[in-house]
Structure 1
Amino acid sequence: MNIEPGRLTKKERHELILSEVRRSASIRISKLARRIGVAGETIRRDLIELGEAGLINRTYGGATISLVTSEPVIAERGLTMVEERARIGRGAAGLIEKGSIVMIDGGSTTYEVARGLSQLGRDLTIITNSVGVASVAGANPGFRVILCPGTYDSREAAVLGEDTVEFVRRYNADIAIIGASALNAEGPSDMISGAAAVKRAMMGRSLSTMLVVTNDKFGRSGLERVCALSEISDIVTDSEPAASLRAAIDEAGGELHVVAE
């Protein structure tokens, strides 16, 4: 059924386009134009914006859903974007106030945040499900480190599952520091559902949330969305995102911190 042209905002058009692409897995520009009732050139511009935001993959004459289907294990991820992760870690650590209670989830970038924090002379309480984060944070005698129980996942060198989530919910924190497999205008997402559940639990018990993410995650979608962009207080990264993603972050009210070289 066609929709009367001129009656939809760009946001409404984008929502309809995403709905159509999700329903069909892939769809042609001509078909979208007929469904929505606007010119093909308007749809083409919309697809460019949605593609830059990582919500779709643009194809010749149409679009498909953009989805990250797999991710290397944490040991392999730690060998890539090394300097970028280290910069993010130092930058994020510098934003944490002395005496804070900090929840940190498992991940190669969050590990760098813990490493950055451990090098600072600040008394902190660290609550984490990551063995690596606990180990590096525990090297600082001024830190109190609480390691969550749960089922060990060797892919992430972290514990996950219902026991982990329930344990997290016992505590209150000033800030949750989380990573993500992907980040687009809809928010951060993760390839591992158990990891996404722990992130949400940490966010639910914290006064604010900091997302730490390298630029290679921009414009992508993971299996499970963690939260909306509006639920993120701060995003710390190594380079400026595309204009459409930056606009979405600004509109959501989050503060973007780009850590220069």
Structure 2
Amino acid sequence: MEPGRLTKKERHELILSEVRRSASIRISKLARRIGVAGETIRRDLIELGEAGLINRTYGGATISLMTSEPVIAERGLTMVEERARIGRGAAGLIENGRIVMIDGGSTTYEVARSFSQLRRDLTIITNSVGIASVAGANPSFRVILCPGTYDHREASVLGEDTVEFVRRYNADVAIIGASAVNAEGPSDMVSGAAAVKRAMMARALSTMLVVTNDKFGRNSLERVCALSEISDVVTDSEPQAELCAAIEGAGVDLHVFAGT
């Protein structure tokens, strides 16, 4: 496709790719690179800035570091269908009778909800009160809720007690979410949550990362792990080409459950 004929979505992906590569970039350079008018780029930057993906500067843009995130109750109100697709898709990848560690999060909650509806005889180990509750609705499940310090933002327990408790168990798979995902791997804005994710990963034979497409190409406060430490990524739409290549290069299986 010719640069000037790119769709808005394709322009946005190209802009984000250019900004990530250069850390900051001028409107005039983006306009020349993409082959559109400067005013078009300016409107694109406004939209990307409002979405929190970049920081707009005078005459250009810099990459946005994701340092804050809505509380879990608010996150659960967005991308509802996308999270539901991820939940159903992830549940289809897990066999009955498995031991599953699941960390707290709005997307991991949807996975647990689908588990409760579609799977049998799972052992669920979680630090999330909501996940424990929805998983516990399935009478064939054994649900183990971690101790720790309650974080109302995440509706989960965190801290040293949580990490130590997780280390007592073995699991077939750890299912984790993330605040952001880029070629370096997933990252999270809450350090305590990142520590729990790593503890779960260390005790599991495999790790499944479940994320909605709005987390792609972004960065948050604390890196959780490298992409190569993930076994599967489950999402609702194809990542940008750069991230796709990184996922493939890391030997990760990508599962995309797109809408119809």
The TM-score normalised by the length of structure 2 is 0.78
Secondary structure of 1:210 counterpart: strand
The aligned counterpart of 2:121 is 123
The aligned counterpart of 1:249 is 247
Q: Return structure 1 stretches of 4+ with deviation > 2 angstroms.
A: 18-21, 55-66
Amino acid at match of 2:231: S
- Note if 1:94 corresponds to 2:92: yes
Q: CA deviation at 1:120?
A: 1.7
Q: CA deviation at 1:157?
A: 0.2
The aligned counterpart of 1:137 is 135
The aligned counterpart of 2:208 is 210
Superposed CA deviations along residues 38-71 of structure 1, whole A, max 9, x for unmatched, are xx9xxx89xxxxxxxxx98797898745310210
Contact kept? 2:95, 2:119, Cα under 8 Å: no
The aligned counterpart of 2:232 is 234
Amino acid at match of 1:246: C
- Note if 1:112 corresponds to 2:107: no
CA distance in 2, matches of 1:250, 1:115: 29
Amino acid at match of 1:237: T
Q: CA deviation at 1:121?
A: 3.9
CA distance in 1, matches of 2:205, 2:57: 42
**Structure 1: unaligned runs, 5 residues or longer:** 1-17, 29-39, 46-54
The aligned counterpart of 1:155 is 153
Contact kept? 2:174, 2:207, Cα under 8 Å: yes
Cα 1:57/1:186, change in 2 over 3 Å: farther
Superposed CA deviations along residues 9-65 of structure 1, whole A, max 9, x for unmatched, are xxxxxxxxx9996xxxx699xxxxxxxxxxx9xxx89xxxxxxxxx98797898745
Q: CA deviation at 1:156?
A: 0.3
CA distance in 2, matches of 1:62, 1:204: 42
CA distance in 1, matches of 2:228, 2:92: 23
CA RMSD of aligned residues (A): 2.7
Q: CA deviation at 1:98?
A: 1.3
